[in-house]
């Protein structure tokens, strides 16, 4: 029997676990809830109980695990993962002791990028930028075939590029980050500002009737012809395209992938980002680079975590 990998994607509400074969097919996958009580102290044992109940590890080459936080790629230690309560957790060491197989750790967004490049829209290119647009904006960068981590694990934190000096406050403690403008949260914030200034708009009427508004509503209002909503979406896409255009002079990628909840708004949003990117980028960088929608959705994390094992054990790169 050929070897398999276990890919794990730890999120704030669920942990996704998958058994993945050597060419990246998912043989089985399931989820368990993430128990963040007491600084997430039971998360690791919950994961191990679930895995060991499901299968014996004799044919498993290793475990890859993506964590939403800052990690030390070499040791597999987690410096900090705020959403799940972890601080200074020796994740690789502890899970290796439990399982008896090699364990490798990566930031969750980076693991998802590895997955998209292995089996999704990346197409195994050597230079790629992936942007995840959801509640916030995450990202990952593959340069010369490997994930860029940097000295303290912040490489690829695309959402925190400053796009507006003295802009709106960001979760990171600074102002005007990309995430404050082009994420779902940023889109809603801008809509609420516009509503105050334009009480007779379709947007304002919708808000008054519903008592609330989501990014999805704003996309739908834009589709049905509301100019204000359209302007907000176009601005969000324009600023995102500008940020990506600036990044391309650093790594000169052949692909840019757009994923995450907001990308479910679909091709139109990605086309707007593409147009903005091409407007701002250096021609020589733009002409070799394709902007595409990510394909794997929620499976990217477990597939990428499995690839991490393959990459480290077999010394493969893209």
Binding residues for Zn ion, rule: CB under 5 A, are 160, 170, 172, 177
Closest approach, Cβ 110 to Zn ion, in A, equals: 18
**Which of residues 51 and 236 has its CB atom nearest to Zn ion in the complex?**
236
User: Could you tell me the smallest distance in angstroms from the CB atom of residue 10 to Zn ion?
Assistant: 22
The total number of residues shown for the chain amounts to 318
Nearer to Zn ion, 103 or 109 (CB): 109
Which residue, chain included where needed, has tokens 């507006």?
A: 164
Residue 68 burial class via C-beta count within 10 angstroms: exposed 0-12, middle 13-18, buried 19 and up: buried
Q: How far is the CB of 179 from Zn ion (least distance, A)?
A: 6
Q: What is the DSSP letter of 276?
A: H
Q: Between 175 and 235, whose beta carbon lies closer to Zn ion?
A: 175
Tokens of 171: 């979760």
Q: Centre a 10 Å sphere on the Cβ of residue 77 and count the other Cβ atoms it contains.
A: 17
Task: Please report, for the chain, how many H helices and E strands are present, in that order.
Answer: 12, 13
Q: Nearer to Zn ion by C-beta: 158 or 221?
A: 158
Task: Give which of 42, 44, 47, 43 is closest to 6, Cα–Cα.
Answer: 47
User: What is the closest distance, in whole angstroms, from the C-beta atom of residue 14 to Zn ion in the complex?
Assistant: 25
Distance CA 207, CA 224 (A): 15
**Residue carrying the six token digits 């994740």:** 91
Do residues 50 and 64 lie in contact, with contact meaning Cβ atoms separated by under 8 Å? Answer: no
For the record, the structure tokens of 189 come out as 């914030």
- 14 versus 171: smaller Cβ distance to Zn ion: 171
Question: Quick check: helix, strand or coil at residue 72?
Answer: strand
User: Minimum distance from CB of 185 to Zn ion (Å)?
Assistant: 11
Closest approach of Zn ion to the CB of residue 80, in Å? 16
Structure tokens at 150: 């940097």
Closest approach, Cβ 240 to Zn ion, in A, equals: 14
- Two tokens, residue 153: 């694990």
Cα–Cα distance measured from residue 290 to residue 274, given in angstroms and rounded to the nearest whole number? 8
Give the nearer residue to Zn ion in terms of CB position, either 16 or 160.
Answer: 160
């Amino acid at each position: 029997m050929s070897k398999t990998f276990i890919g794990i994607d730890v999120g704030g509400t669920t942990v996704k676990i998958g058994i993945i074969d050597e060419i990246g097919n998912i043989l089985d996958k399931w989820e368990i809830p993430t128990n963040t009580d007491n600084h997430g102290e039971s998360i690791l044992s919950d994961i191990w109980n679930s895995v060991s109940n499901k299968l014996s590890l004799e044919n498993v080459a290793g475990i890859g695990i993506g964590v939403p936080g800052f990690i030390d790629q070499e040791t597999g230690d987690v410096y900090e993962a705020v959403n799940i309560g972890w601080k200074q957790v020796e994740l690789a060491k502890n899970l290796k002791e439990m399982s008896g197989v090699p364990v490798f750790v990566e930031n969750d967004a980076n693991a998802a990028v590895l997955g998209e490049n292995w089996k999704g829209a990346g197409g195994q290119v050597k230079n790629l930028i992936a942007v995840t647009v959801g509640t916030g904006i995450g990202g990952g960068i593959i340069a010369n075939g490997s994930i860029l981590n940097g000295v303290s694990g912040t490489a690829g934190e695309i959402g925190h590029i400053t796009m507006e000096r003295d802009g709106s406050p960001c979760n990171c403690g600074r102002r005007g980050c990309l995430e404050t403008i082009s994420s779902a949260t940023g889109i809603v914030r801008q809509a609420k500002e516009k509503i105050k200034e334009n009480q007779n708009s379709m947007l304002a009427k919708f808000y008054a009737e519903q008592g609330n508004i989501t990014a999805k509503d704003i996309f739908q209002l834009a589709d049905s012809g509301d100019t204000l909503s359209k302007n907000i979406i176009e601005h969000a896409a324009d600023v995102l395209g500008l940020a990506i255009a600036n990044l391309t002079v650093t790594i000169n990628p052949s692909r840019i992938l757009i994923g995450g909840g907001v990308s479910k708004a679909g091709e139109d949003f990605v086309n707007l980002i593409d147009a903005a990117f091409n407007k701002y980028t250096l021609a020589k960088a733009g002409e070799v680079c394709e902007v595409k929608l990510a394909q794997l959705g929620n499976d990217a994390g477990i597939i990428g975590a499995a690839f991490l094992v393959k990459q480290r054990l077999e010394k493969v790169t893209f």
